[in-house]
Chains A and B, each alone.
Chain A
Amino acid sequence: MIAPNQTWTLIFEAAFSIGLIIMITRSRKGLKVPAIRKVSGLEALDEAIGRATELGQPVHYSPGIGDFQNSQTLASFAILGYVARMCAKYDTRLITTNRNPVVYSVTEEIVHQAFVAEGRSDSFVADDVRFMSDDQFAYASGVLGIMAREHVATNVMMGAFWAESLIFAEAGAISGAIQIAGTANTHQIPFFVAACDYALIGEELYAASAYLSKDPVLIGNLVGQDFGKIFGVVIILIGTIMATMGNNSLSALMKK
């Protein structure tokens, strides 16, 4: 019935999902939700957009090069919604560049809705949400050009990035932009940490929507996520101790 080597993945995912649903239900009932720690990269978003407003220069937003199905891209949409609302509020130009055509259609709608929600639909410029190219490096060269020509004051990069991450981050640094980046692609995190002013590391990207909206239901979901992590750490510790003592039964069990 169950696909080969998927039994334990199914059990863990089901248990994790049930835990999340319990935490969401508790939050919906208005039960106390723990406070979440400060994420400096997200705290800095307002300041970065404010800087662009003061300088009268645009904000650039990239949702990465992941497909629409990529969970990092989906997490990025919530941040784009927030950035677009802030830009609409302060009447700051926002340039959103896209590599994936499906993602482009969605980001255009997100930015448009954000401007409408702030009562600034007349300030929305459709040309500022751009599809560049579906090729990774053609997209990268297009973004490089925009950063240089448009004198971007703030560069926000949130989503799934690969080799273009450092190209964007260095181009932003050269143009003097304040840069906030986030990705869960472990091989690109060091580049963002080295080249950007603020970096969201791994799961912080997924926590952004809860953090920015302050919605107790979303925060409840984050708490559930943390319980999942604690459970994972406990299993890893038990497995490590057992393996050190020469007993590999837990790791063998997990492979089933």
Chain B
Amino acid sequence: MRKEVPIVICAAAALIYVLSTFINPTTSPFLGKLKGDLDTWYLLVYAVAFAVGLINLAQIHLRKVTQQRQDWQFSIVLLGFMATTLIFGIFTTGKGPVTDFLYQYFFVNPRATMYSILVFYISSAAYRAFRIKTFEASILLVAAVIMMLGQAPIGEVIWSQIPKMSAWILNYPNAAGMRGITIAATLGGVATALRIVLGIERGHLGGGGE
């Protein structure tokens, strides 16, 4: 029963979603309402799960502080900011100068910094990938050089055909490969969904494959 009931619920919910996608909403408004209700229920589940997640986060870091494990000072910072954001979020309903300040200066900037790190990581990953060890790596390097020169003004100065070559690589071999992967992955996604709906794959129920 522990496995069967969730499978039946999952199959019923999946059927509602599939039917509401393919059946014209004007012919069956009830189905649309049912799907809307399911979406609302998911939000409720998400909210409850979020609280569970917060408790997990707080527990881990509180334990780290009380046991004074390695780098426990950082956990104090995390817990402090978590509590401050939570308190001001609750009492000001997410609006007001303090919440704005916290968001603007303690959230947006670190976020942008993390994103910026990608620039350096792209360089180091490219360095490793472009080292000519194999025939494939050589093709990758040649294509990458053409692409980079094609995107920069210097490419056209070196040879007027470079931007055209770059566009050709992007629009034909690259697009064909990407579309092939996308089509296969989409079919894989449908097959996975069907396995879950039929109860063949039960990984999401916590028990591994079967």
B190 touches A13 (CB 8 A): yes
Complex Cα gap A126–B190 (Å): 33
Looking at chain A's contact residues, the main secondary structure is helix
Please encode chain B, from 179 to 210, with 1 for each CB lying within 8 Å of some chain A CB and 0 for all others. 00111110111111111101011011011111
State whether A3 and B194 are in contact (beta carbons under 8 Å apart), knowing that A170-B124, A209-B201 are contacts in the complex: no
For residue B68, CB closer than 8 A to chain A, the reply is no
From A71, A131, A169, B193 is in contact (CB under 8 Å) with: A71
Kindly identify, within residues 71 to 113 of chain A, every residue whose CB is under 8 Å from any CB belonging to chain B: 71-72, 74-75, 77-78, 80-82, 85, 98, 101-102, 104-106, 109-110, 112-113
B183 touches A232 (CB 8 A): yes
Does B128 contact A195, Cβ atoms closer than 8 Å?
yes
B114 within 8 A of A: yes
**In the assembled complex, B30 has its CB within 8 A of some CB on chain A:** no
Interface residues of A in 18-75 (CB under 8 A from B): 20-21, 24, 68-69, 71-72, 74-75
Complex Cα distance A187/B193, Å? Answer: 22
Q: In the bound complex, how far is the Cα of B115 from the Cα of A138, in angstroms?
A: 10
Task: Verify if B80 is at the interface (C-beta below 8 Å from A).
Answer: no
Cβ-defined partner of B195 (8 Å) among A109, A135, A218? A218
Chain B: minimal CB distance from A121 (Å)? 13
Q: A104-B49, A203-B184, A212-B209 are in contact. Are A2 and B59 (CB under 8 A)?
A: no
Q: Does B57 contact A (CB under 8 A)?
A: yes
Name the prevailing secondary structure of the B interface residues.
helix
B118 is an interface residue with CB less than 8 A from chain A: yes
Q: CB of B93 within 8 A of chain A? A: no
Interface contact B63-A127, CB-CB below 8 Å? yes
Bound together, the chains give a CA A140 to CA B194 distance in angstroms of: 32
Count of A interface residues, CB-CB < 8 Å: 84
Contact, CB under 8 Å: B182 / A137? no
7 A–B contacts from the bound complex (CB under 8 Å): A16-B190, A75-B188, A102-B46, A114-B208, A130-B57, A206-B192, A218-B195
Chain A positions near chain B (C-beta within 8 angstroms): 1-4, 6, 9-10, 13, 16-17, 20-21, 24, 68-69, 71-72, 74-75, 77-78, 80-82, 85, 98, 101-102, 104-106, 109-110, 112-114, 117, 126-127, 129-135, 137-138, 140-141, 145, 149, 163, 166-167, 169-170, 173, 184, 186, 189, 191, 193-195, 201-203, 205-207, 209, 212-213, 215, 217-218, 221-222, 224-225, 228-229, 232
Known contacts A21-B194, A72-B189, A206-B191, then 19 further A-B pairs from the complex at CB < 8 Å, ordered by chain A residue = A2-B22, A3-B21, A13-B190, A74-B201, A101-B46, A101-B50, A104-B53, A113-B206, A129-B56, A131-B53, A131-B57, A149-B71, A169-B125, A170-B121, A170-B124, A193-B129, A195-B129, A218-B200, A232-B187
